[in-house]
Amino acid sequence: MKQYKIAVVGATGVVGQMMRKVLEEKRLPVSEYVFFASKKSAGKKIIFMNKEYEVRELKEDSFDEKFDFALFSAGGETSKKYSPIASKSGCIVIDNSSAFRMEKDVPLVVPEVNIEDAKNNNGIIANPNCSTIQAVVALKPLDDKYKIKRIVYSTYQAVSGAGKYGINDLQNGIKHFEKNDKYQLEKFKYEIFNNCLPQIDVFLDNGYTKEEEKMINETKKILHRPDLKITATAVRVPVMNSHSESINVEFEKSFEEKELIQTLKNSKGVIVQEDITHEIYPIATKATGTDEVYVGRIRRDYSLDNGLNMWVVADNLRKGAASNAIQIMEYLMEQ
């Protein structure tokens, strides 16, 4: 079996750390891993698969040594600069930033939904937004069967999605709450502890945030439904990890609830947790540390024809970022 050489860019960040964890679990056919980060983090020592590695500074000549794949999780500006350099060297880039997601010739891939799209790449494949990934895993089998007419997203997103400074703001809030003293915010404009912030990313001229627009546009691209009607409200909540979403769907076709639930149960990557008698439904603490998408609170929306409500939860650092990218790489290795 062929052995691959892999670059991990942004190896010391929150998503980069999760990538290392998932790669350790997967034990892929890899002959060599090389870890890159910014100048600030270069020289750090990390332990990976019981071996010590020194993190290298990412430079323009970093890809002169040939890599088969590069997993990028270092932010949009870094991706815009270095991904084309990497792909020109013959390396396939799987990028976790938003830099290339809406580029026409860059596939935007969720393995359970549209893995075939990954084959048609020009050296760069985009990993979707974390909140979009978990949503489309649940929506794709329903779209195939009943054809979605409209989606209303309401998200409840954990602070880990905002990186280490977002995590710090929640931890500092917890620490200082009983003391009732002030502390310096590192990420958010307002305290996230004891609050829900109805803003993720910057506001756009149309009143939506960039996060909400990402969900709308990425869902259309992944499902190959450019005319699909979608609206979204994205909220940051004081939860450490794993995003939760309330998704309201209107279908073109009628459905029976039992059949629809069975469709979800038979879908790849989905775990249905639906037992209201025993108050069983998906929650963030149970999703954390796993790669599945959990769906529950599945019920008809009686306010419209062919309407449905469901609650969707997943680990935003694993399935929403690291694991999704690595699943794409795995597929391409197998091809």
CB atoms within 10 A of CB 279: 6
* Measured distance CA(106)–CA(123) in Å, rounded: 9
Q: Is 196 a catalytic residue?
A: no
Determine the angle formed by the axes of helices 14-26 and 163-177, rounding to 10 degrees.
110
Tokens of 216: 């709308």
Residue 95, strand partner residues: 72, 126
CB atoms within 10 A of CB 77: 10
In the set 91, 130, 196, 224, the catalytic residue is 130
CA neighbor of 235 nearest in space, from 244, 224, 227, 226 = 244
Q: Hey, which bits of 12-101 come out as E strands?
A: 30-37, 45-48, 51-54, 56-57, 69-72, 92-95
* Measured distance CA(217)–CA(271) in Å, rounded: 26
In the set 91, 224, 243, 278, the catalytic residue is 243
CB atoms within 10 A of CB 165: 13
Residue 295 · residue 282 · CB < 8 Å: yes
136 vs 92, 229, 239, 295, CA distance in Å?
24, 14, 22, 12
Name the residue type at position 118. A
**Catalytic positions:** 130, 243
